[in-house]
Structure 1
């Protein structure tokens, strides 16, 4: 779920660079021999003082791949806003349902396809799970990053019917989508975006829309880990964009 690194022009913003633990499932147990653990990625090793029990990577598979019953026409924004594109292959990645008829999905070609790769499609094109094997994630235990396995995704499962909920690493396994984030008054400052990016419900969280390069947004003073809370006039929506 990466997002372009720079979205807003710093000079237009006053020089600012907009920048549960639960029981471990049986199939998420440590690998047999800690000494033989795969080497964790560099992102895990960047933390100079990881705390005991800290997790690096996802303890559950969050992006679930489904077959396609028919080609999926995807729109960059809800409802049917923007120029659509069609996925004509055999698979689509589901994230959450907006309604019984609409879901947020990701084009399996990802960044190779080019912006946008997230969008909204009719759910009737989505089939059943393709099946995904367990993956590694890491937990810091007894002074070392130790590899664990996520639960695998069986093939042939139907898409969940729950609305505005996406798979998460939490103990209950789901997180609510903040479809319309709480906000204050619309800011007066208007800033032109220089690069495209996704609109998120929280910093580095769930996609709720897309903001093409050249659109104007109204940034607030709320910043978090390189994300800025903005109002997008073209969508009449609030959300977080990578700065």
Structure 2
């Protein structure tokens, strides 16, 4: 009798604990989902006016870099998005007039003084906020807007660590971007017909490569091979 009573209590306690555990799990799911949604609803690519006529470079201009389009320019009246400043000489932008192009890069490097002020209206730094118009680009170096960091900015790894090359003749078959990590900040571009030095390092559909024409290490999406 005592044993049966004890067993009954154990069963009731176990059931009650399980129910509470499920309830706690459900509560966690309910509270976590809006946060995840909120993070996705924050705008990270904010638009700016163009202050003056300037050339844009597909890959950071330095000795040994080839393939930059000499005709790519931005001018007053156009719209660009600021992503980050490399240094005091160049900033990474997205050129709105090329954003739907299947052949021309839209991410590129430009003199920061060519970028005007914010157009405003995007939800940043929170989903319920509205970024003001007339603001200059941030002065931060190698930091871009982020929805996951407490201060809303994340460091750009502009000089990706080298990897071990397993194929030094991997062909690029379509236009793509070079990133500092899988699907993170753009640090350059690749073009069809280029050959890169591929490593065996892969992450979420991206592969670490060295791009001789850009003189830079980074990550390229596998769909471009």
Residue 10 of structure 2: aligned partner: none
Larger Rg: 2
Residue 116 of structure 1: aligned partner: 105
TM-score of the aligned structures, taking structure 1 as reference length: 0.68
Structure-1 separation of matches of 2:94 and 2:60: 14
Give, in angstroms, the shift of residue 59 of structure 1.
Answer: 4.2
Task: Give ranges in structure 1 of 5+ residues lacking alignment.
Answer: 1-49, 136-147
| Matched positions, count | 182
Residue 78 of structure 2: aligned partner: 90
On the 8 A contact 1:76/1:120 being kept in 2, the answer is yes
Query: Which structure 2 residues correspond to residues 1-243 of structure 1 after superposition, within 5 A?
Result: 51-52=29-30, 53-54=32-33, 55-56=36-37, 58-79=40-61, 81=65, 82-84=68-70, 85-88=72-75, 89-113=77-101, 114-134=103-123, 149-169=127-147, 170-243=149-222
Residue 22 of structure 1: aligned partner: none
On the 8 A contact 1:227/1:241 being kept in 2, the answer is yes
On the 8 A contact 1:217/1:233 being kept in 2, the answer is yes
Give, in angstroms, the shift of residue 197 of structure 1.
Answer: 0.6
Equivalent position SS for 2:187 = strand
Closer, same or farther: CA 230–51 of 1 in aligned 2, 3 Å: farther
Residue 5 of structure 2: aligned partner: none
Task: Give ranges in structure 2 of 5+ residues lacking alignment.
Answer: 1-27
Give, in angstroms, the shift of residue 174 of structure 1.
Answer: 0.4
On the 8 A contact 2:196/2:209 being kept in 1, the answer is yes
Equivalent position SS for 1:109 = helix
Closer, same or farther: CA 208–195 of 1 in aligned 2, 3 Å: same
On the 8 A contact 1:68/1:126 being kept in 2, the answer is yes
TM-score of the aligned structures, taking structure 2 as reference length: 0.74
